[in-house]
Structures are given as structure tokens and as C-alpha cells.
Amino acid sequence: AQKVTQAQTEISVVEKEDVTLDCVYETRDTTYYLFWYKQPPSGELVFLIRRNSFDEQNEISGRYSWNFQKSTSSFNFTITASQVVDSAVYFCALSEGYNQGGKLIFGQGTELSVKP
């Protein structure tokens, strides 16, 4: 069965600290997609990244970076030099067979609080 686990329910850091949000997933499929979304208090989901199961290269986008490791079924997200505007709930999600699906299984979410 598919499952996404974000073990950290809440994280609090001080501005400029680096922070890593963990995501562990379970799936039987060999083809799948992983996502990260940011949800600010307004509720709208902000897309951050999509990674397919065949691409294990790490990715960096500005202060954001992602570490995908199939060996441990993890897709962790790191924010470098965190800022107050990074405060939000972050969701990791899994989709099997993206080209045929698009149905996402979400993790429980991690609420990140960045204090000035």
C-alpha cells in the first residue's frame, strides 16, 4: 500500500538556521512521483518540486534543496538560511503512475516556524 510519513509534526528554528524536513514513503510501484508542497496560513498549496522515481539526482533551487534516496525510500527537503517567510506547513506527497493518475497521497505535514 502507498504511504507517506512525515515524522516531524512541528519544527521551530531561528532565522538563518538550516532546517531539514524528512519524508519517507512506501510504494510497490517502480514508477512513481514525489512532490513537496508548501501551505501558508491562507491554505493555498504552493508547488515546490516534483521528482520521478528514475531520477535520483539531488536538486537545488535557491535556498531549497532536495535529497532523494531510493535505497532508504526518503525524499528530504532542506531549507538553507531559513527566513520568517518560510513559516508554513510543508507536505510531502506520492503519486503512482503520474501519467495515468495524478492522485496524490499526502504525508501528515510538518509545521515549520521560523522565528526572527
Partner 1 sequence: GAVVSQHPSRVICKSGTSVKIECRSLDFQATTMFWYRQFPKQSLMLMATSNEGSKATYEQGVEKDKFLINHASLTLSTLTVTSAHPEDSSFYICSARGRRSGANVLTFGAGSRLTVL
Beta-carbon-side half-sphere exposure of residue 87 (alpha carbons within 13 Å): 12
Q: Which of 24, 80, 98, 113 binds partner 1 (CB under 8 A)?
A: 98
Distance (Å) of CA 19 to CA 32, 42, 63, 107, 110 = 26, 23, 11, 18, 12
Site residues (CB under 8 A) for partner 1, limited to 45-64: 45, 47
How is residue 100 written as a grid cell?
495515468
Does position 116 bind partner 1 by CB under 8 A?
A: no
Q: Which is nearer to partner 1, 12 or 83 (CB)?
A: 12
- Chain position carrying cell 510538518: 110
Minimum distance, C-beta of residue 102 to partner 1, in the bound complex (Å)? 4
Q: Which of 1, 30, 41, 43 binds partner 1 (CB under 8 A)?
A: 43
Residue 49: strand pairing partners: 36
Is the distance from CB of 79 to CB of 19 less than 8 angstroms? Answer: yes
How is residue 8 written as a grid cell?
516531524
Q: Which is nearer to partner 1, 43 or 62 (CB)?
A: 43
Q: Which is nearer to partner 1, 81 or 101 (CB)?
A: 101
Minimum distance, C-beta of residue 43 to partner 1, in the bound complex (Å)? 5
Site residues (CB under 8 A) for partner 1? 37, 42-45, 47, 91, 98-99, 102-109
